[in-house]
Amino acid sequence: MTDVTCWDVEKIRQNFPILAQMVNDKPLIYFDNAATTQKPQSVIEAVHHFYQNDNANVHRGVHALSTRATQAFDEVREKVRRFINAPLTAECIFVRGTTEAINLVAHSFVMPRLNPGDEILISAMEHHANIVPWQLVCQQTGATLRVAPINQKGEILLEEYAQQFTPRTKFVALSYASNALGTINPVKKMIDIAHEHQVPVLLDGAQATAHLPIDIHALDCDFYAFSSHKMYGPAGIGVLWGKTCWLEEMRPYQGGGEMIQYVTFAKTEYAPIPAKFEAGTPNIEGVIGLGAAIDYLDSLDMTQVMAYEHQLCCHATESLKRLGDYRLIGEANDKVPVVSFVHPTIHAHDIGTILDTQGVAIRSGHHCAMPIMDFYGVAATTRLSLSFYNTLAEIDAFMAVLAQVKEVFA
């Protein structure tokens, strides 16, 4: 077991200026990290430096600013490759975020391969971003969406998952970790099962990339998608990684500048990857910020991060159980630091509103995961999602407010 006493959380918190503010005359307690993470000063400064010193379009000019911007932009792609241990830099496609990455794969890779009656397989704990694109594809092709079941703890039933495969199964899309429950899925086993049936797999890494070391080579997935803003970088930028053999087979998702080799009115020759999927002016400052976020995460010991976040999650879970009345939703053995719960008589939005008056930021709602809410028979949950910059004292303060909530509605 890693010793978490060496994790200097107060020093870490100094890197995140937003955490020092007061909300409703109370110190901010930010427990909404699954929705978006706060940004370290180094990320803020990197974006500021770009706008103040290097702002120019990339891959389109020979002047000094464009050259500097292009060099910085291209360097981030290589940082991404190293960060996820991908084979080739060109396999890393910049997109707006996980949602666009999944839609790109759905429409450019999966849809052309489908015939009526074919099947796409997802799990019962997916975010809407990994449900709706597949429903759209099924509606347009006559394919069928199949769902691998989970147990009451919020864990995939592996045997039932394996039984879902048929000769008509053409694609699998899975979350690495659930945003609503925190469950870390046994994705390596699930990928291996799919590959035994010669079925490609996409991993939605939105909730995993900030909490776990990502090793594309070891996972052997076919596509991996994640968002910058959930891993301490700017919003509006993300990454789709894909195996070269698949990316070269795929048709472009959008047309425009940069994704072409040669254009006439008669035909267009497309650029090779990654440019083929990056039409138009990219989110340059977002890419720069993503690079700074990767640098920041690389400066941390991920083993210590995981151990400390595990301690936070266990403390929150056990403290909630001691309060009584509150029901935990999702109690998987292997989790990222997400704790969802409900009260039998107090609505999640009322809990969230009272918490806000005390400076506590959490998420109340269905978390863009309505099917999982239906599975547990609830309309909404209150979710605290933690980060390595949160503290045990913040969790204790949160629990004290929860105890007051019970008294208010008694």
Q: Which residues are catalytic?
A: 368
Distance of CA 46 to the CA centre of its chain: 22
Distance of CA 117 to the CA centre of its chain: 31
Q: CA-CA distance, 186 to 17, in Å (whole number)?
A: 36
Q: Give the number of C-alpha atoms closer than 13 A to the C-alpha of residue 104, restricted to the C-beta side.
A: 32
Q: CA-CA distance, 240 to 94, in Å (whole number)?
A: 6
Q: What angle do CA 1, 233, 101 make, to 5 degrees?
A: 100
Q: CA-CA distance, 306 to 275, in Å (whole number)?
A: 35
The answer to whether 219 and 188 are in contact (CB under 8 A) is yes
Which amino acid is residue 34, in one-letter code?
A: A
- Token pair recorded at residue 39: 């940004």
Q: CA-CA distance, 301 to 324, in Å (whole number)?
A: 36
Q: CA-CA distance, 202 to 110, in Å (whole number)?
A: 11
The answer to whether 218 and 239 are in contact (CB under 8 A) is no
Q: CA-CA distance, 8 to 344, in Å (whole number)?
A: 38
Tally of CB atoms within 10 A around 304: 16
Omega within 30 of 0 (cis) for the link into 274: yes
Phi–psi pair at 404, nearest 5 degrees: -65, -35
Which amino acid is residue 305, in one-letter code?
A: V
